Every structure is written in structure tokens, then in C-alpha cells.
Structure 1
Amino acid sequence: MILLAIGVVVLGVFALRFRQERRRFSNGVLLLLGLLCVGGALVGSGAEGAGVEALVLVTLVLSPLLVLALACLLMLNGVVMLRREGLRLANVLSFGLGVALLVPYVLLVAAVVAEWAVLGVVLLAVVLVAAYLGFVLVAFLGYSLVYDWTTRTDNVAAIVVHGSGLLGDRVPPLLASRLDRALGIWRTDHAYGLPPLLVTSGGKGSDEKIAESRAMAAYLVEHGVREDEILQEDRSTTTRENLLFSRELLAGRGIDRRILLVTSNFHVLRTALLARSLGLDAQAVGAPTARYYLPSALLREYVGVLVEHKAVNAVMCGVLVAAPVALAILGQASWQF
């Protein structure tokens, strides 16, 4: 019952924080932690104290298995990405990280074969770090879905569509998906007599013939939007610049709130988090992405979240690695004594 009460309290805190500000990654952590506590309590409801044991068992067993399965899937996805998208750093990332995730497991096998005395310490450290990384991964994926599904798209003053690169001067499928999502929202609001202003945001890359914003605007015009209903932001090269430069354009039109950001579904949560950090009153929604591209893209976003919170993650991983070592040293000292 204690674990169930903790879970309910944590979920209550999540609900309160979610209502106050949805653009927090900590919301995802609270949601997953609350669900794990409630789930552990329900699984172990038949025996005294079994809830905590079930929660620990699920976390320590499933999280490393999740990381192992993720490594295999990333390597397979990396092969697909290389075949379809060509040899580029972003396309090698999924395969490379998949290999990196396998390294601790390979070391454990080597430890077993060599009968290292420190096997228990290494095993525990790997399990704890894997469990932590698996927890953060599930929190990221789960809350990305929750955030995207619960974002309202009605009664907005402006829709900002983020660029993602051109093929020469043409809009590729990934960017077309974002524009189509924005068009669907714009048409719905237009039907109610409240058409929001559309902003195409993206500068000109070194391999592009024109600015992304110009090609995006042309795409929207081809699909029934008037030119005077579109603002073109043609300076940005990053998501941060997308937000900052679009805010400047919209401020010139007297719009500083009720802004909707349209990006790809894998990028929606980080875009919302960045908008909050910049003080922009905007929410984000995602457009569909090709299935073969999605795992690699989600991985980059997950790594991005880890890097953005690198201090916290480094401390957590350091503590989890140091804890088994400290216990082993204390145990050895106690045995000698």
C-alpha cells in the first residue's frame, strides 16, 4: 500500500505540473516513476513488501534488456539508413551508437570467460547505468507521445513551420509532411473564420538553390494559401534561430502568444523545451515521419536530451558506477577486519 500511495502522489504531482507547464522534461520522469510505482504495487499486491521487490526487479531486469534490444535495432536501422540515405554522419549515428551500447555486454562476457574477481562489481555497475539510461529513454519516448497527443491546435494566432532542408529547390517528403500538417490545422481554423498567420522558417543552406522559407511558401501557395497570409523567415539555420527569428517577425505583427510550432514528430518535445527556455509562448505539434527514418531521428533527440542535461546525467552515472565500487571496498575492508 505504501508503494501505491507513493505512486498516486507522484502522479498527482505530475498532473499538477503538467497543467501548469507542459514543456518540462521532468514531467515525463514523474509520469514514468508514478506508473512504475503503481504498477509495482499492483503486481505485488498479493504479498507484503512484494510491490517494492517487483518494482526493483522490473527496473533492473527490463532496463538492461531494453538497452540490449535497442542496440540491435539501432544497428539494423543504421544499415537501412545507409542504404536509403547514403553515407553521412547523421546516418552512421544509429549504427555507431548501437555498437557502443553493446560494448558493456561484450566486456561482461569477457569478464565471465576470464573469471575476473571484479565481475560482480562490473556487472552491478553496468546494470545500474543501463537501468538509468533505459529509464530516461522510456521517459523521453513516452512523454514525447503524451505531449504531442495533448497539444491543442485550435484558436492559434500563428503557425510556424520549421524547415528541414531542401533537395535543390524542391520540398522533400520530410518537409512536405510538416507543411501538410500545418495546412490541415490552418484549414480547420480557416473554416471557423479564424485563419492563423503562417510562417515558413528556414534559411538557405550551402547545397540549396533557394532559402527553405521561399520553397515552403511556394508549396503553401500551391495548396491554396494566399501569399499575404504567409510570412517568410529566411535567416535561420538551427531550431533555436527558427524560434528567435520567427518571434521577431511575429512581434512586428503584434503576435506574441498563441503560437503553434510545427515540426516532425521525433523533434516535437525538444522544440517545445527549447521554446520554453527562450521564453516563447508557443506549443509544438509533430508531423508524421517515414518509419525507417524514425528510430535514428528519435535516437538523435534522445542523445540531445542527455547532452542538454549532461551535468545531471554525468553525476547520476558517476554515482551509479561508484556505488558498487564503494560497496566492494567496504565489504573487503570489513572482511579483512
Structure 2
Amino acid sequence: MGNYFSIIIGIIYLIGVFIIPKWRAKKLNQNWKFFELLWFSICFIVYVIYLEVQLHTYYFLIPSTFLLLFLFCYFKEKRRLINGLVFNLFLIVGMTYLGSLLVRTMNPLLIVLAGITGIVLLLLLLIGLYALLAFLYWNAIVVLRKEGHSLANLLTLLLAIGLTAFLIFNYYSARILPQWASLLFGILPFIMFYFSIVFYNFLTISIIYQFNQPKYTQDYIIVLGSGLIDGKTVPPLLGKRIEKAMQFYKAQSDATLNPPKILMSGGKGDDEHIAESIAMKQYAIGKGIPEEAILVETNSKNTLENMRFSKEIMEQDFGGTDFRAIFTTNNFHLFRAGLFAKMANLNADGIGARTAFYFLPNAFLREFIAIVMMHKRRHLIMCSLIALMMILLALAEFFLVTHR
């Protein structure tokens, strides 16, 4: 019976794998990767529940509870950093559960998945940090060559140099310093470990937030501005944001014959000849968007003001507050922009425009630093507690050594 069910669920899964791309090809939004991932997850969960039922146990309810907790938190408010932590807790509990299920069933599929996972984890332990260093140096060279030598473009290089210095220091400090001094200098790796967890949670929710699927019922699409070339020309990065909004505009128009208005948001910088939103409007008109379908917000200087001032314009144009809106920006900036929308009391989620892969590591580091600064008091408290704990351990070790 077990083998028959495994074959049946495998056939059903494969049928879905081939049907989903063809099904999505008939839709205005042809993205099929999210639905393939969702289909695999559903089939796998059904299979795992079947294995549990065969054992007359119901331990699957434990990871299911964490999954339901994540879904509740996420759909209640997508724009929260804690959602990344909750999802990663679900992953940890889920992996632990699957490990116990493997021991209890010795199921061939679980053995294969465990083997693949084990190989990946082993490689990460053996060469993970060194592979990361090589990637960071390579990425830094590419970014500096293609994007210039500004401080914002040096983040991956600075991180790579910092990690290299840390590895060298960590290697020699254990051989040179006494135990109590090693504990004192252990403050740095513990703080690094803390921020790596924070970064991983941020990256997790940033990736999940990319899967937004807004309905074609929007009244407005806000396009968030960025700098102009020579103070007057829309750069490629900003052009991607505008084109993403235009894509949604045309898709909703085809689906409902009721397109949303596009609200270009961006003021005039000190080194710019015109407001960013004016240049963005001209760009969209040049791509075929009717002028009457475009609104402009010309006063904002940052993303928070983008959201606040755009909200005021939409309320005035709509004649109320019950409008529906989304915003577009580059995918690396999407989640932080969502946080700013929340701060502005604007009920809007975002859709992200694609960004060149080489630009993403540097961009996500920049976003992470900005989010850390948004919650700097919380992180200062955590770092202080780590430092205090290590200082107390170092003092205890020092006095134990001197009194022996």
C-alpha cells in the first residue's frame, strides 16, 4: 500500500509540474516558479502526513503549528521583520521533525533528501566561509568596475576585508593570547554571529516578500524615485521600476478595462535640474502611457516622504481613504520600502523590479545596514549584553588563573 501511494503521489506531482507552466502561460501574470514551489510543498506535506498516519502518530502537528503561526503573522501584516524569524523557526522545527521521521520510517525519499541536505551542510562547514570570501571579493571587483568607486559600492569589499582580518586574527589570537584575553576578544565573533542571524532573518523575509501577487483591483501604483543621470535622465535602475509599474498597469487594463493611475514619486535633489517624478513621467509617456493616467509627487527627499506625500495625493485624488494601492521599486529595496509604507500608515504592498545579479549582494548589504539603523537601540542593547557577558567571563577566568 505504501509503495502504491508513493507512486500515485509522484505521478500527481509530475503531472502538476508540466501543467503549471502551461496554465500560467494563459494568465496575464505568467510567473510559474512560485506555483511550482507551492505545488511541491503541498505534495510533500501530503506525503509526510501519510507516513505519519501509517505510524499512527501525529507529530506533524508540531511543525504544522509553526507554519500556521507564520502564515497568521505574515498575512496579518507582511511588513514585519519578525516574520523572517518565525519562518526560520518553522524551518528548524520542520527539519528536526523530518529527521525524527526518517529514523522512524527509513523512507527512501527522506533518505535521499537527508543525504542531499547533509552534503550541502558539510560543504558549508568545510568551505562555506572561504567560498563566501571568494564570492565577496569577486563581486566587489565586478561592482567597482561596472558601478564606480562610491562608498555604497564598497560594502562587499569592506565585508570581505573585515572577514579576512577576522580569520587571520582569530587563528593567531588563540596561540598568542592567554585564555582570559581570548574570552575578551570573543566579543567580536559573538556580535558577528548575532548580526548574521539578524541578516539571515532579514534576507528570509525579503525573499518571501518578493512573492507578492497583487490583485488587478488597484486604484494607484506608486513608483518610488531615485537619482537621475546628469540631473535630468532616468537611469536604468529607476527605469526598471517604471517599467514594472507599466507592466502591471497594462495587465490590469487588459484584465478589467479599468487601469490604475501611476503616481510618480520623487522630488528635486540639490544636483538635479528637474524633480525625479517629472523625469519619470516623461519616461512613461515616451513608453506609451497616457499623460492623464499619471500623477506626480514632487516634494519627497526619501522613501518615507515618498510614502507620506503619495498618500496625501491619492487621498485628495480619490476623495477618501478607501483606495487600493501598490508600489514598485527594485527587488532589493522592496521590503524596506514596505516598512516605510507601514510607518506612513499606507496600506500598500510592493512588487519588485528585477536587478542585475552582481548588484544584489552590495544592495542587500546596504538595505540591511539601513534597517539595522532603523532599530539601532535594540541592537545596541543586544551588543552591550554580549559584551558584558564576555567581560564577566574574562574577569572570572583572569581571577581564577591568578589565584591558582
Alignment TM-score, normalising by the size of structure 1: 0.85
- Between the aligned partners of 2:127 and 2:385, the Cα distance in structure 1 is 21
Q: Is contact 2:187-2:386 (8 Å) kept?
A: yes
- Matching residue of 1:204: 268
309-318 or 4-13: bigger deviation: 4-13
Residue 45 of structure 1: how far off its partner (Å): 5.6
Q: What is the match of residue 114 of structure 2? A: none
Amino acid at match of 2:315: A
Aligned partner (choices 196, 208, 220) of residue 284 of structure 2 = 220
Counterpart position of 2:294: 230
User: Aligned partners of 1:147 and 1:294: how far apart in 2?
Assistant: 16
Tell me which residue corresponds to 1:121: 183
TM-fit CA distance, 1:208? 2.7
Give 1:275 shift: 0.7
**How far is 1:47 from its partner?**
7.3
**Residue type matched to 1:42 in 2?**
L
Letter in 2 for 1:284: G
Asked whether the 8 Å contact 1:64–1:127 carries over to 2, the reply is no
Which protein has the larger Cα radius of gyration, Structure 1 or Structure 2?
A: 2
Aligned partners of 1:105, 1:11: CA distance in 2, in Å?
Answer: 37
Aligned residue number for residue 40 of structure 1: 96
Residue in structure 2 matched with residue 55 of structure 1 by the alignment: none
Q: Which amino acid aligns with 1:148?
A: Q
Distance 1:97 1:77 in 2: 11
Report how many aligned residue pairs link the two structures. 327
Q: Distance in 2 between matches of 1:332 and 1:47?
A: 46
Pair 1:153–1:81, CA change in 2 (3 A):
farther
Which is further off, 315-324 or 90-99? 315-324
1:82 and 2:144 matched: yes
Secondary structure (helix, strand or coil) at the match of 2:272 reads coil
Q: Which residue of 2 aligns with 1:52?
A: none
Give the partner amino acid of 1:107: F
Distance 1:123 1:36, change over 3 A: farther
CA contact (8 A) 1:74 1:296 kept: no
- Alignment partners' CA distance in 2, 1:19 and 1:214: 35
Matching residue of 2:216: 154
Paired residues for 1:97-116 under 5 Å: 97-116=159-178
Counterpart AA for 2:210: D
> Judging changes above 3 Å, is the alpha-carbon distance between structure 1 residues 129 and 39 closer, same or farther for their aligned structure 2 residues?
farther
CA deviation profile, 1:82-107 (whole Å, cap 9, x unmatched): 22222212122332233234443232
- Is contact 1:187–1:195 with CA below 8 Å preserved after alignment? yes
Other-structure match for 1:53: none
- Secondary structure of the structure 2 residue equivalent to 1:261: strand
Q: Kindly indicate whether residue 193 of structure 2 is the aligned counterpart of residue 131 of structure 1.
A: yes
- Name stretches of at least 5 consecutive residues in structure 2 with no aligned partner: 1-56, 105-119
Say whether the 8 Å CA contact 2:220–2:325 is kept in structure 1.
yes
Paired with 1:18 and 1:288, the residues of 2 have a C-alpha distance of 23
Residue number in structure 1 paired with 2:241? 178
Unaligned runs of 5+ in 1: 49-57
With over 3 angstroms needed to count, the CA separation of the structure-2 counterparts of 1:163 and 1:140, relative to structure 1, is: same
* Matched position secondary structure for 2:257: coil
Deviation track 1:272-305 (CA, whole Å, cap 9, x = no partner) reads 0111122111111110112222111111001112
Counterpart residue type for residue 10 of structure 1: F
Instruction: Provide the residue aligned with 1:244 in structure 2.
Output: 308
Cα pair distance change 1:24/1:68, threshold 3 Å: farther
Q: Secondary structure at the match of 2:259?
A: coil
Instruction: Provide the C-alpha distance between the structure 2 equivalents of 1:271 and 1:295, rounded to a whole number of angstroms.
Output: 18
Which digits, 9 at most, give the CA deviation of each residue in 1:237-288, with x for residues without a partner? 2111111111121111125331111000000000001111221111111101
1:300 corresponds to: 366
- The one-letter code of the counterpart of 2:89 is L
Match of 2:338 in 1: 272
Instruction: Assess if the C-alpha contact under 8 Å between 1:28 and 1:142 holds in 2.
Output: yes
Distance in 2 (alpha carbons) for counterparts of 1:100 and 1:183? 42
Match of 2:227 in 1: 165
CA RMSD of aligned residues (A): 3.2
* Cα distance, 1:127–1:87 mapped onto 2, change above 3 Å: closer
Task: Give the deviation of 1:13 after TM superposition.
Answer: 1.9
